[in-house]
Amino acid sequence: MRISLWALALFLISLQSVYALETVTLQLKWTHQFQFAGYYMAKAKGYYHDVGLDVKFMEGGFSVNPIEEVVNRRANFGIGSSNLLLTRNKGQPVVVLGVIFQHSPLVLLMRKNTPNQSIHDIVGKPVTIEPQADELLAYIKKEGVPLDSFTINHLNPELQDFIRGRTDAISAYSTDELYMLDRLNISYAVYSPRSAGIDFYGDNLFTIESEIQEKPERVKAFRAASLKGWQYAMDHIEETVALIHNDYAPYKTISHLKYEADAMQSLLLPHLIEVGYMFEGRWQHIAQMYTDLGMLPANISLNGFLYSPNPQPDYRLLTLFVTAMISMMIISVIALRFFRLNKKLDKLLYIRSQYVNLGETMNNISHQWKQPLNELGIHMMLLEMLWEKEIPEKNGSEIKRILVKSHSILGFMAETIDIFRDFVSTNRQPSHFDPATLIHQTLHLVSENFAMEGIEITHDLERNAHVRGNSTEFSHVLLSILVNAKDVFHERNTTNSLIHIRLFQTQQHVFISISDNGGGIRIRPIRRIFNVGVSGKKNPESGLGLYISKKIIEEKMGGTIQAKNHKIGALFKIGLPIIDKNNERAN
């Protein structure tokens, strides 16, 4: 009788523990597949159960918007894209709990018709793009393709429609649809936003503010268990694939799921970066990309957008020192690679322009340029993760500033190749901008490098004038003149090197003068300084930057650029017509 009572008591205790589990729902972004492996394994291995949760998975699909499901409280958690930034800016209280994909898998697939085709070939054609794919639209816009120049079908991007030719291009995940196309020997081209420097996070785990306020411990527990499941899933691919095939997606073959798992390795980087890791500086960079493309206002606040489980920092002074040294080393490598690539690019462009189509050449160079930038970006993320874990806020503010600025430099470098490529394109869309603000931004990028070489840059800038053109192109005009001055200082061993930038305006024009004390331009006549292959420096690979600068100012911005000498150095003067923003909007 005593044994029976003990058995009954144990049964009641176990029954009570089952009923004590809190039920929460996770809204998936798409149908069941390896894309959500970590959540499946967190449930299968009991990680959710161990923290008192019974997690239900709600399949996604074309007609399901995870953000709407969570905001309307039909789900507790969801999986979204980096467009959560846009949603937050519209007033929706979404909060990112963690990042799963360090690089977004979203790409555009196009039928391969010619060997030299490019993203510009979508003009005039039907393109199927799924909802929540704003980064693809941002990519297309950045490539200089107007969004109204092709037909966008916001339909379910069925692969069969692409295979049968009913649509010329579709949005897809690089981890999924390519498998079937390869199996069917379908010829296709892949266009990734990363090739244009748009490197967004992907598959972000999120919730809303009220969920965190009402159930803070539950949110923290769910996040921790989910990330633990992701780490297990990526460490045990065979076991995870078998579970998904048996319990969630029997319609997907084992080989298809393995393909997806292998493709995700380079996007999650699970053995280099802790799953779930995110860096505020990179989110700021993503926001700036949206701002540059007119999709977000400038300087939006990230307050409340990024969740923090409040980990205890490690106050180790040695780590602070090592991290600071690594930061400076990485920035030095970036700068060195940047200037070396610039030199190679100058020479290659000059030679190739005489023999082959320049546009094709630029596409080839673009690939070679941006691959090392992606690698440098990975190293930056590793450094960011170390900083977040090891450096206290009171000692790490300078490191954080260096990291944020390094991301800006990476983005600036990624855009450099676009300037050269767009130089031969007629599709670039101009806009209006304040040159004084742009000068400040450009100086922010190069100020530390110049200061390290003993070069002082001063400026006297009048504001509130707007000109028409491409702001990034104009920034590179300034950079070309500044770098030329720096090289001259170095070659001539100039002491007390000084560059002064002055911006002033008349009723109809704005003028920018850039003067230095480097001894002046020695080429005669001086106007030859803007010719291809002509340079006032000893380096024989120079002689393209000022040529392109002149073309940008005069042919693309309708202005003038002149070079002359003054008493102690060179003087470049740029004149640009002022625009009336109000009249322009009215027109």
Arithmetic mean of pLDDT, 217-243? 96
Predicted confidence (pLDDT) at residue 227 exceeds the cutoff of 80: yes
Q: Is the pLDDT of residue 352 over 60?
A: no
Note the pLDDT tens digit of each residue in 415-447: 555 544 544 444 456 678 888 888 887 887 777
Q: Average of pLDDT values for 385-414? A: 57
What is the rounded distance in angstroms from the CA atom of residue 454 to the CA atom of residue 452?
6
pTM over 0.85: no
In terms of average pLDDT, the best of 15-24, 101-110, 188-197 is: 101-110
Q: For residue 6, what pLDDT is reported?
A: 54
CATH topology for the 2-94+213-292 domain: D-Maltodextrin-Binding Protein; domain 2 (3.40.190)
Between 228 and 370, where is the model more confident? 228
Q: H helices then E strands: how many in the chain?
A: 20, 17
Residue 339 token pair: 């200037």
Output the pLDDT for position 383: 60
Q: Could you tell me what percent of the chain has a pLDDT over 90?
A: 31
pLDDT of residue 123 exceeding 70, the answer is: yes
Lowest-pLDDT choice from 242-251, 391-400, 456-465: 391-400
Alpha-carbon gap, residue 211 to 217, rounded angstroms: 10
* Alpha carbon distance 364, 348 (integer Å): 11
> Across the strands, what pairs with 468?
432
- Got the DSSP string for 396-439? HHHHHHHHHHHHHHHHHHHHHHHHHHHTT-S-PPPEEE-HHHHH
pLDDT above 60 (res 95): yes
Fold of 431-586: Heat Shock Protein 90 (3.30.565)
Q: Which CATH number fits domain 106-196: 3.40.50.12280, 3.60.15.10, 3.40.190.10, 3.40.50.2000?
A: 3.40.190.10
From residue 587, give the alpha-carbon distance in Å to each of 146, 403, 509.
19, 43, 20
Provide the 3-class DSSP secondary structure of residue 166. coil
Query: Does residue 285 contact residue 407 with C-beta atoms inside 8 Å?
Result: yes
Cβ–Cβ under 8 Å, residues 511 and 505 = yes
Instruction: Please state, as a whole number, how many other Cβ atoms lie within 10 Å of the Cβ of residue 302.
Output: 13
Residue 344 has pLDDT above 60, yes or no: no
27-68, pLDDT tens digit by residue? 999 899 999 999 999 999 999 999 999 999 999 887 889 999
Task: Assign 454 to helix, strand or coil.
Answer: coil
Q: Work out the average pLDDT over 261-285.
A: 88
563 secondary structure, DSSP code: E
Q: Among residues 178, 362, 377, which one has the least CA distance to residue 264?
A: 178
pLDDT tops 70 at residue 192: yes
**Cα 88 from chain centre:** 18
